[in-house]
């Protein structure tokens, strides 16, 4: 595959670093933009990121120095850096205050990157790391959006939602993904309409939708469950009411507790004196 010169330079560095780590037995996984690239996203134009264990960071840097890279000074306490010519290599060990763990590296999958096999961070870990990195000053969604679209089927979004819970920026990004239908509403954690309003709106819909035109349906919404009760005039209309309710309340479980009006009671005469 032909890449532009910048990408080619980055890939050369990537292979050099991976080769050095493999040779010296440093546990690592490809992270950042090139991990996304390995999993199907467009190639990154920036630096090359690797995840390493916090206790291995210094040793990893020495291994890279031995392989001809130049360790760089960093003020950050969550990564170390090295230069390979004008390409910057980030060795990330504690992204967003969450140390890289051995379990995370074990979850990495060996994938072919430009003809060599490199362990690549699990897609869920990758997204969690990316989303947790959003801050007040770094919350441009454009890049991560491309990554999310490319990796959507490989990611356990439910787990992402749980693991980014502490970050309002990450949660906002998930709502965006839900709104764009990149992921489902449930996966995005987008809050359902407040139940009392949802019930009110459904009740009005059941009255106004020409398929139902039912005014006497009682609607109760409890959590993810919608309960319908009341009487309808025939069995077919009962199905219609459930159909409209399910359509209106996507993502909820609709419970049919309706009954059909009976008109088979015995006729009796009342005498009004």
Partner 1 sequence: MITVAAVGDVHLDEEMRGRYRERLGRLADDADVLLLAGDLTKHGTVEEGRVVAEEFRGLPVPVVAVLGNHDYQSDAQDKIAETMRAEGITVLEGDAVALDCAGGRLGVAGVKGFGMGFSGKCASEFGEPEMKSFVRHSRDAAERLREAFKSLDTELTVALTHYSPVKDTLVGEPPEIYPFLGSYLLAEAVDTAGAHLAVHGHAHKGTECGLTPGGVRVRNVALPVLGRPYGVYRIQD
Q: Which residues bind partner 1 (CB under 8 A)?
A: 210, 213, 215-216, 230-231, 233-234, 236-237, 261-273
CA 271 – CA 137 distance, rounded (Å): 82
Query: Nearest approach, Cβ of 184 to partner 1 (angstroms)?
Result: 34
CA of residue 50 relative to chain centroid, distance: 21
> Which residues have C-beta within 8 Å of that of residue 18, sequence separation ≥ 6?
28, 30, 50, 113, 116, 118
Smaller CB separation from partner 1, 27 or 230: 230
Query: Nearest approach, Cβ of 161 to partner 1 (angstroms)?
Result: 38
Smaller CB separation from partner 1, 13 or 205: 205
- Torsion 63-68-69-73 (CA) sign: positive
Smaller CB separation from partner 1, 103 or 272: 272
Query: Nearest approach, Cβ of 207 to partner 1 (angstroms)?
Result: 10
Query: Nearest approach, Cβ of 182 to partner 1 (angstroms)?
Result: 39
Q: Are 118 and 110 in contact (CB under 8 A)?
A: yes
Taking phi first (over 0 means left), then psi (-120 to 50 degrees means alpha), and beta for anything else, what does residue 254 get? Answer: beta
Report helix, strand or coil for 66.
helix
Q: Are 87 and 13 in contact (CB under 8 A)?
A: yes
Smaller CB separation from partner 1, 25 or 210: 210
Query: Nearest approach, Cβ of 197 to partner 1 (angstroms)?
Result: 16
Smaller CB separation from partner 1, 191 or 235: 235
Smaller CB separation from partner 1, 102 or 262: 262
Query: Nearest approach, Cβ of 200 to partner 1 (angstroms)?
Result: 12
Residue 44 corresponds to which tokens in the numbers above? 């990154």
Q: Are 163 and 128 in contact (CB under 8 A)?
A: yes
């Amino acid at each position: 595959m032909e890449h532009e010169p910048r990408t080619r330079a980055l890939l050369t560095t990537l292979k050099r670093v991976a080769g050095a780590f493999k040779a010296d037995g440093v546990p690592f996984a490809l992270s950042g933009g090139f991990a996304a690239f390995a999993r199907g996203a467009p190639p990154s134009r920036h630096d090359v990121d690797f995840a390493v264990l916090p206790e291995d960071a210094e040793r990893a840097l020495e291994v890279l120095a031995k392989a001809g890279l130049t360790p760089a000074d960093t003020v950050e306490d969550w990564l170390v850096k090295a230069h390979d010519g004008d390409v910057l290599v980030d060795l990330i060990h504690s992204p967003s205050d969450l140390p890289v763990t051995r379990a995370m590296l074990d979850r990495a999958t060996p994938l072919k990157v430009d003809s060599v096999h490199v362990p690549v961070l699990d897609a869920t870990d990758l997204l969690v790391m990316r989303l947790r990195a959003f801050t007040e000053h770094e919350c441009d969604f454009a890049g991560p959006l491309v990554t999310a679209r490319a990796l959507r089927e490989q990611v356990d979004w439910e787990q992402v939602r749980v693991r980014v819970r502490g970050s309002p920026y990450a949660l906002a990004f998930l709502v965006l993904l839900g709104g764009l239908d990149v992921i489902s509403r449930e996966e995005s954690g987008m809050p359902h309409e407040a139940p009392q309003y949802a019930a009110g709106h459904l009740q009005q819909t059941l009255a106004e939708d020409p398929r139902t035109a039912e005014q006497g349906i009682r609607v109760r919404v409890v959590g993810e469950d919608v309960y319908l009760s009341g009487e309808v005039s025939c069995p077919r209309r009962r199905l219609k009411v459930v159909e409209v309710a399910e359509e209106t309340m996507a993502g909820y479980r609709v419970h049919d507790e309706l009954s059909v009006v009976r008109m088979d009671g015995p006729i009796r005469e009342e005498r009004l004196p």
